[in-house]
């Protein structure tokens, strides 16, 4: 039995090394976004309450960020909490809030954030969050505001439709006040009013969704127009480095034509 286990582990190690060499020999995406999904399913499969899955998922995210940083990915966007998620049972939502605050404080104290000069930006409606959670995120943003080598965007209390509506309202107000004319409104102008304004390369090259679900769930509707999507049948807490490499390999094997 042990011999079989060691044999399988050896084959897995060889495959991961081969895959890593294959992936790293080709250009990697500059901006990777992740739809973090499957925490509740992971917990349910074990007969545990949903917040245990969220805690396991939060720990996995820290690991995934380290992988992406080590690989030199310049920009990362995480779909942490949607506006729709806020309608879940209060006990679950409160636990998610606690985890966000805890991880924001931990990230602010992480030496790697400063050594790698990672700038953190929160995209979403922070006014929908409890004050202590919003303050923890704001402190993280402030602490990293001068960093300029890597960029981490946290989509918290985020909804793609709401982002576009908010931008439309701001543009309409600018037109009404005479600051811009209708003729001046183009894609570049409109993008300045999105939550991602100021983010270098705000349009993800690759969007990965865990859990096996094949939908975008109101995530970066404007920015993802020409993103490549990879849907992986693995719940977030079980996401492995080899799964990340596989997603990169799928991305590298696609031809990005941008509608041409």
pLDDT tens figures, 178-212: 999 999 999 999 999 999 999 989 999 999 999 99
Residues of the chain above pLDDT 90, percent: 87
Q: Does the predicted model carry a pTM greater than 0.85?
A: yes
Is the per-residue pLDDT at 2 higher than 60?
Answer: no
Using CA atoms, how far apart are residues 129 and 151, in angstroms rounded to an integer? 23
What integer pLDDT is reported at residue 236 of this predicted model? 97
- The mean pLDDT of 108-118, rounded to a whole number, is 96
Give me 200's structure tokens. Answer: 């270098």
Is the per-residue pLDDT at 23 higher than 60?
Answer: yes
**Which residues partner with 79 through β-bridges?**
35, 155
Is the per-residue pLDDT at 216 higher than 70?
Answer: yes
37, 39, 205, 235: which one is catalytic?
Answer: 37
Topology classification of domain 29-251: Undecaprenyl pyrophosphate synthetase (3.40.1180)
**Which residues partner with 119 through β-bridges?**
151
Nearest Cα to 76, choosing from 41, 112, 127, 121? Answer: 121
What integer pLDDT is reported at residue 260 of this predicted model? 64
Is the per-residue pLDDT at 4 higher than 60?
Answer: no
What integer pLDDT is reported at residue 18 of this predicted model? 82
Is the per-residue pLDDT at 53 higher than 90?
Answer: yes
What integer pLDDT is reported at residue 6 of this predicted model? 46
- The mean pLDDT of 117-125, rounded to a whole number, is 97
85, 110, 201, 218: which one is catalytic?
Answer: 85
Answer yes or no: 85 catalytic. yes
Q: At what angle do helices 90-109 and 50-70 cross, to 10 degrees?
A: 30
Residue 249 pLDDT class (50, 70, 90 cuts): very high
What integer pLDDT is reported at residue 44 of this predicted model? 95
Is the per-residue pLDDT at 226 higher than 50?
Answer: yes
Mean pLDDT (the chain) is: 93
Nearest Cα to 65, choosing from 176, 194, 151? Answer: 151
Under DSSP, the state recorded for 128 is: G
Residues of the chain above pLDDT 70, percent: 94
CB 124 within 8 A of CB 195: yes
Answer yes or no: 37 catalytic. yes
What integer pLDDT is reported at residue 9 of this predicted model? 54
Using CA atoms, how far apart are residues 5 and 148, in angstroms rounded to an integer? 45
């Amino acid at each position: 039995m042990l011999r079989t286990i060691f044999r399988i582990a050896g084959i897995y190690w060889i495959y991961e090394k081969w895959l890593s060499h294959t992936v790293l020999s080709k250009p990697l995406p500059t901006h990777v976004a992740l739809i973090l999904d499957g925490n509740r399913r992971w917990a349910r499969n074990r007969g545990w309450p949903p917040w245990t899955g969220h805690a396991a998922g939060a720990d996995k995210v820290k690991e995934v960020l380290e992988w992406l940083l080590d690989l030199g990915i310049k920009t990362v966007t995480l779909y942490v909490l949607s506006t729709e998620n806020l309608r879940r049972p209060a006990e679950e939502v409160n636990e998610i809030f606690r985890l966000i605050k805890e991880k924001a404080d931990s990230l602010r104290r992480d030496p790697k954030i400063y050594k790698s000069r990672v700038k953190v930006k929160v995209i979403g409606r922070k006014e929908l969050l409890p004050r202590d959670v919003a303050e923890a995120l704001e402190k993280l943003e402030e602490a990293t505001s001068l960093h300029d080598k890597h960029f981490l965007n946290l989509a918290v209390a985020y909804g793609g439709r709401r982002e576009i509506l908010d931008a439309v309202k701001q543009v309409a107000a600018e037109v009404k006040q005479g600051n811009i004319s209708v003729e001046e409104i183009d894609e570049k102008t409109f993008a300045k009013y999105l939550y991602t304004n100021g983010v270098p390369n705000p349009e993800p090259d690759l969007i990965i969704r865990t859990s096996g679900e094949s939908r975008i769930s109101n995530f970066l509707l404007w920015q993802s127009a020409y993103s490549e999507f990879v849907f992986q049948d693995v719940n977030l807490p079980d996401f492995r480095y080899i799964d990340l490499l596989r997603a990169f390999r799928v991305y590298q094997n696609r031809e990005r034509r941008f509608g041409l």
